[in-house]
Structure 1
Amino acid sequence: MHSPLTRRGFLAAGSGLAVATVLPGLSACSALTGADSDPDTLVVHSQLGTTAPGSPTYLAALDRFRKENPGLKVKNLINGDDLAQVYETSRLARKEPDVVMVNLYDKTLAWTDVGATVDVKGYLDDWGLRRRVLPRALAEWTDAKGRVRAFPYFATNWPIAYNRALLDRAGVDAIPTTGDELIAAARKLRAKGIAPVTVGGNDWTGQKLLAQIIQTFLTEDEARHAYSTGDFGSRGAREGIEYFVTLRDAGVFADKAQGLTSDSMTTQFNTQAAAIESAMSSALAKVPPKVARHTEVGGWPLTDGAVHDKPTILRTYTLIGFWISPNGTKKIDAVEKFLRFMYRPDTVTRFIKESGRDMALRSDTVSTDFPLVAAAQRLGSTVSQALLPDVYVPPAAAQPLITATSTSFTRGTSAAKVRAALETAYRSA
């Protein structure tokens, strides 16, 4: 696989850099100069700090860390979805931050392999923190060469949220568990002027739901092959695409789903304009209490011949990890203090209780103030788990797959054209 992190690739990306600044004075340039050479200043680059779920808890944790370590300064750099691109540009200039908090997806998949970040396996063991990590999380952060890309931190459950009050209003007596039941529910909801399933068909939320539905007829190994290679020609993949098209053309998804985003999806569900959404933990935590009180979580309905025996959800332990940069290895004592602090049970507990975050670390704490997050944690064996394809999709195919997703959610697009769009996304990979 061609790496996007060659110097030529870095510069090409950097020339079109668009940075959505969220701190006064913070820009691409400040990111480039953010790696303070002062050994008493730790530079952390994160998506947490503004409106991202967990931001208030994270900022409060930084304040506590500073008070406990008065001789160590912490400079906090914040970016949104463009964090990976900003980091890559700063790494090219050898001015990258010491620690990066970001998920394992798209560009970041190649970081450890090309030396943009370091293998943290030795640090995880030397600092005695391995025992704090859930085994499944450690496995997901470990690459094919046995390297641990980052210290695992945030995880997520990704069930289907059903607004029982809206279903009842439409005369839907039970949560749909089959495709036929879902289609029937969608018709009743539409008759009442309620959108059935809202989804960001124009971004990553739609891409994940599409992948989940396609896997109705795929085993985990078959799904891994399809999303690693872009080969959607197997019988199971073709049947999964056909199932998706059947649901789409039956009106299961909200109108013009191909143009919706994650923001419009959550707005539709949270304002009760739509009855159903595929919602990861951070979205579940944002559901207003008056809506959460009559919302249930479950899996995606199956159909005859499915390889799963129960409705499916997604789970992942790769939502946010702590990556150590080459600059970070020069301040490894400071990095160790920071990571020991963030791994402490009391710090982890606050993320769960205050922010409703699922964690990749061991903890007995439950999100009591976030009932839907807690309900998703309790689903257990009542649902089946589909494969989240993020760590298998080649980085070069990640964004083209979003374009293919929008095409797929466009009503009238045949199953053959959906398959072609998905496979075309891999041609540059």
Structure 2
Amino acid sequence: MHSPLTRRGFLAAGSGAAAATVLPGLSGCSALAGADSDPHTLVVHSQLGTTAPGSPTYLAALDRFRKENPGLKVKNLINGDDLAQVYETSRLARKEPDVVMVNLYDKTLAWTDVGATVDVKDHLDAWGLRERVLPQALAAWTDGKGRLRAFPYFATNWPIAYNRALLDRAGVDAIPTTGDELISAARKLRAKGIAPVTVGGNDWTGQKLLAQIIQTFLTEDEARHAYSTGDFGSRGAREGIDYFVTLRDAGVFADKAQGLTSDTMTTQFNTRAAAIESAMSSALAKVPADVARHTEVGGWPLAGGAAHDKPTILRTYTLIGFWISPNGTKKIDAVEKFVRFMYRPDTVSRFIEESGRDMALRSDAVSTDFPLVAAAQRLGSEVSQVLLPDVYVPPAAAQPLITATSTSFTRGTSAAKVRAALETAYRSA
């Protein structure tokens, strides 16, 4: 794993010798050649543009923006999961793009603090955009020093999707709301050759579901403490781990879940090989229509004595934001035009209507062509929201937690070993 970005790393890379040491291995990365000193060229670095949900809408938005601003060129750089590393490398070379579209997680948590990106709070107010943003999103993107890391944009709901047709085939009369009901449903589904809960136990999807289940017995403050410090020794955390292990060893999760990925998970659910998945909005938007019409969304079943009174879901407002780089401050007029355009109600509504995206901005648009996304947006008092730990996990612990997740989903791993794996992930933080 690459070490997280630090101020010392930036200062060291400022000298020619240090930069030569740091950069050669990544000299072919697209963003290194991405900076453009031309004040009439805006360079945007994004994960949108290929197969990522919302890419066609984003590319169409760029075309409209170019037509409305004929004197301003836009260079669109695209990376996938390696975007953060590519951006950091380009920043070390002082060739970073002007605007970065990425989520608040892992490496990006440190960017504003070490000067890789700038505080955008004053720009938000000067450009009159504060009222466009949901208050929850502003809170989520603001760090402990009151700095707004980026302009919030994508959000997501993260419920549990239940294929009612498969549950009915297995003789499961109702959506499970308790752990006992879930275990009973899993046994009936397996008897029919159907995997119960599919999950990417070897990647971020499994890590999020594990965190959600552990929080069954934790208040929000207790969860924040556990994921900020790596201390899973409280009574509630231990009870949550015990609950997870009980479900796992009862066969609730798909076979060999510790080796599955998010792609495997969505494929199993979308092809009716599995009846249940923990699905964020982008996954819900991909569920085929013939499966979606038989699918309901709800929360994760609770155990007796839970800290919550309703099945739980996750929500986050930090999925994608517009970060401004130091290079971007030199073209702030162009950046303003771009952000204003992307914040316009008509642009925002297209992401909702055409791509089924949840947004961190105010909008009256509805995802009518994405019924499961719309259903998740309507979930209210029938579910309880638990903490998404992303902004609290130290960057150095993020990837080790994925390894700990795979260990945790391996059947037969004791609750004590699960706890040890989770706490070990924080030792390098």
Q: Same fold (TM over 0.5)?
A: yes
Provide, for residues 263-291 of structure 1, a one-character-per-residue CA deviation record: whole Å limited to 9, x for no partner: 00000000000000000000000000000
Deviations 1:56-93 (A, max 9, x none): 00000000000000000000000000000000000000
Contact 1:31–1:90 (CA under 8 A) maintained in structure 2: yes
Q: Following TM superposition, by how much is the alpha carbon of 1:15 offset from its aligned partner in structure 2, in angstroms?
A: 16
Work out the CA distance in 2 between the residues paired with 1:212 and 1:93. Answer: 39
Q: Tell me the CA shift for residue 30 of structure 1.
A: 3.1
Conserved 8 A contact 2:12-2:18: no
SS of equivalent to 2:162: strand
Looking at structure 1, the residues matched to 18 and 262 of structure 2 have their Cα atoms a distance apart, in angstroms, of 20
Separation of aligned partners in 2, 1:316 and 1:121: 20
C-alpha spacing 1:13/1:396, structure 2 compared with 1 (3 Å): farther
Tell me what 1:353 maps to. 353
Aligned-partner Cα distance in 1 for 2:204–2:19? 19
Cα separation, partners in 2 of 1:59 and 1:16, compared to 1, 3 Å: farther
Distance change (3 Å), C-alpha of 1:25 and 1:391:
closer
| Superposed displacement of residue 19, structure 1 | 19
CA distance in 1, matches of 2:378, 2:25: 43
The CA deviation at 1:6 is 2.7
The Cα shift of 1:382 comes to: 1.1
State the distance in 2 between where 1:197 and 1:248 align. Answer: 10
**Cα distance 1:212–1:14, how it changes in 2: closer, same or farther (>3 A)?**
farther
Q: Secondary structure at the match of 1:352?
A: helix
- Residue by residue over 1:311-364, the C-alpha shift from the partner in whole angstroms, topping out at 9 and shown as x without a partner, is 000000000000000000000000000000000000000000000000000001
Task: From the superposition, tell whether residues 84 and 15 of structure 1 become closer, same or farther in structure 2 (CA, over 3 Å).
Answer: farther
How far does residue 3 in structure 1 lie from its aligned partner after superposition? Answer: 8.1
Aligned CA distance change for structure 1 residues 22 and 153 (closer, same or farther; 3 Å): farther
Distance 2:47 2:21 in 1: 11
8 Å Cα contact 2:141-2:150 kept in structure 1? yes
Task: Call closer, same or farther: CA 1:295–1:2 in 2, change over 3 Å.
Answer: closer
Displacement of 1:401? 0.1
What 5-or-longer segments of structure 1 have no aligned partner?
none
1:113 and 1:270, CA in 2 relative to 1: closer, same or farther beyond 3 A? same
Q: Distance in 1 between matches of 2:339 and 2:23?
A: 24
Q: Is the 8 A contact 2:99 2:335 kept in 1?
A: yes
Which whole-Å CA distance do the structure 1 matches of 2:186 and 2:407 have between them? 21
What's the secondary structure of 2:95's corresponding residue? coil
Structure 2 vs 1, CA of residues 147 and 7 (structure 1 numbering), >3 Å: closer, same or farther? closer
TM-score by length of 1: 0.96
Bigger Cα displacement from structure 2, 193-202 vs 20-29: 20-29
Matched, 1:91 2:88: no
| 1:283-320, Cα deviation, whole Å (9 max, x unpaired) | 00000000000000000000100000000000000000
CA distance in 2: counterparts of 1:402 and 1:14, whole angstroms: 33
Counterparts of 1:289 and 1:21, CA distance in 2: 52
What value does the CA root-mean-square deviation take over the aligned residues? 3.7
Q: Rate the CA distance shift 1:15–1:83 in 2: closer, same or farther, 3 A.
A: farther
Shift of 1:138: 0.3
Aligned to 1:69: 69
Provide the rounded CA distance (Å) in 1 between the counterparts of 2:420 and 2:26.
Answer: 42
User: 1:269 maps to what in 2?
Assistant: 269
Residues 13 and 259 from structure 1, CA distance in 2 versus in 1: closer, same or farther, beyond 3 angstroms?
A: farther
Consecutive aligned runs of 4 or more in structure 1 exceeding 6 Å deviation: 10-27
How far has the Cα of 1:41 moved from its partner? 0.1
Number of aligned positions between the proteins:
429
Q: Counterparts of 1:19 and 1:153 in 2: how far apart (Å)?
A: 33
Structure 1's 403 and 38: CA in aligned 2 closer, same or farther, altered over 3 A?
same
Report deviation, 1:17.
19
Identify if the C-alpha distance between structure 1 residues 373 and 70 changes in structure 2 by more than 3 Å, giving closer, same or farther. same
TM-score (norm 2): 0.96
Q: Secondary structure at the match of 2:22?
A: coil
Please tell me whether the aligned partners of residues 20 and 80 of structure 1 are also in contact (alpha carbons under 8 angstroms).
no
